[in-house]
């Protein structure tokens, strides 16, 4: 007995093909961003397949949203680290201009 429902990965590729016209209408730099978005859907295909959604586009949106959220959290962590480093640097005592010239004068 054969499968009556295609695997998520096959259905995903079919859905991606359906978006080809949209992709082709984008300017080259935007097309690269869109292709990266589709790659994120492919990256999380295993999770998308477990969503068991009747419309494949729903799982695609969720995987893309997840990838963006993950990146946002990583960037937020980096920004927080930079802020902490900047605060630590600004809390250090600053050297006085007059104390830089320490030549001995009798």
**Cβ pair 41, 60 in contact under 8 A:** yes
Q: Can you tell me the mean pLDDT for 17-30?
A: 94
Over residues 87-98, the pLDDT tens digits come to 998 887 766 555
Over residues 36-69, the pLDDT tens digits come to 999 999 999 998 888 877 788 888 898 899 999 9
Q: Can you tell me the mean pLDDT for 30-34?
A: 93
Look-up of token digits 């893309």: 64
Which helix (DSSP H) or strand (DSSP E) does residue 25 occupy? helix 20-25
pLDDT at 101 over 60: no
pTM: 0.63
Q: Is the dihedral of CA 85, 87, 88, 90 positive or negative?
A: positive
């Amino acid at each position: 007995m054969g499968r009556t429902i295609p695997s998520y990965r096959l259905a995903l590729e079919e859905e991606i093909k359906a978006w080809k016209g949209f992709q082709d209408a984008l300017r080259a730099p935007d097309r690269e961003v869109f292709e990266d978005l589709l790659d994120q859907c492919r990256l999380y295909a295993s999770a998308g397949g477990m969503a068991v959604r009747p419309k494949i586009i729903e799982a695609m949106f969720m995987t893309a949203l997840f990838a963006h959220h993950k990146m946002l959290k990583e960037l937020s962590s980096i920004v927080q680290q930079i802020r902490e480093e900047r605060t630590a640097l600004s809390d250090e005592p600053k050297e006085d201009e007059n104390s830089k010239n320490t030549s001995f004068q009798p």
